[in-house]
């Protein structure tokens, strides 16, 4: 199974790329695709379109376009659920000890990582950032 992960601008700015990728690799998630990019407002707005009506939408887009991100396809058994478990709760104050957000996130805006929340959304999000020939067989 595959899922989409984004290391958000705070993770890149704080040089936490390697430490966070290590969490994935040491927990059975392999990297099947990876790139760095700096999203513009249109791209971030389209990616987060599901949140367009939420009060935090403008803050979310502002933050996600504030610097470069690392976008990855992670592959492994139960990749969607496993990644969500490794990430921890959206609000790092509520994230379990030892999760990525508990260890690397500052607040609910700068919360270190994005992860797809269902297998269906994982497919949509992977297609949003990657073409088929950019994804390798990581199994
Ligand atoms: P998730 O990233 O854990 O899946 P979502 O509910 O999908 O959380 O929200 C997307 C992103 O929007 C979050 O990661 C967070 O950065 C931001 N966000 C969510 N809820 C709030 C909020 O109540 N205030 C501010 N930002 C929020
Ligand atoms: Mg989400």
Residue-wise pLDDT tens for the chain (139 aa)? Answer: 999 999 999 999 999 999 999 999 999 999 999 999 999 999 999 999 999 999 999 999 999 999 999 999 999 999 999 999 999 999 999 999 999 999 999 999 999 999 999 999 999 999 999 999 999 988 6
* CB 1 near ligand 1, within 6 Å: no
Residues 4/71, Cβ–Cβ less than 8 Å:
yes
CA 139, CA 135: separation in Å to the nearest integer?
12
Which atom of ligand 1 has the smallest separation from the CA of 84?
3
Token pair listed for 131:
């073409």
* CB 56 near ligand 1, within 6 Å: yes
pLDDT for the residue numbered 138 = 84
Residues 6+ apart with CB under 8 A from 124: none
Residues 1/126, Cβ–Cβ less than 8 Å:
no
Which atom of ligand 1 has the smallest separation from the CA of 87?
3
Residue 20 Ramachandran class (φ > 0 left, ψ -120 to 50 alpha, else beta): alpha
Specify whether 38 is catalytic.
no
Token pair listed for 49:
């379109």
């Amino acid at each position: 199974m595959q899922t989409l992960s984004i290391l958000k601008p705070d993770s890149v700015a704080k040089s936490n790329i390697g430490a966070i990728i290590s969490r994935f690799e040491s927990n059975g998630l392999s990297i099947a695709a990876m790139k760095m990019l700096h999203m513009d407002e249109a791209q971030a707005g389209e990616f987060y379109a599901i949140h367009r009506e939420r009060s935090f939408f403008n803050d979310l887009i502002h933050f996600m376009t504030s610097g470069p991100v690392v976008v990855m396809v992670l592959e492994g058994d139960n990749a969607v659920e496993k990644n969500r478990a490794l990430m921890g709760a959206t609000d790092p104050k509520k994230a379990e000890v030892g999760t990525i957000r508990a260890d690397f996130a500052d607040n609910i805006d700068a919360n270190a990582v994005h992860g797809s929340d269902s297998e269906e959304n994982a497919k949509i999000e992977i297609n949003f950032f990657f073409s088929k020939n950019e994804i390798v067989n990581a199994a």
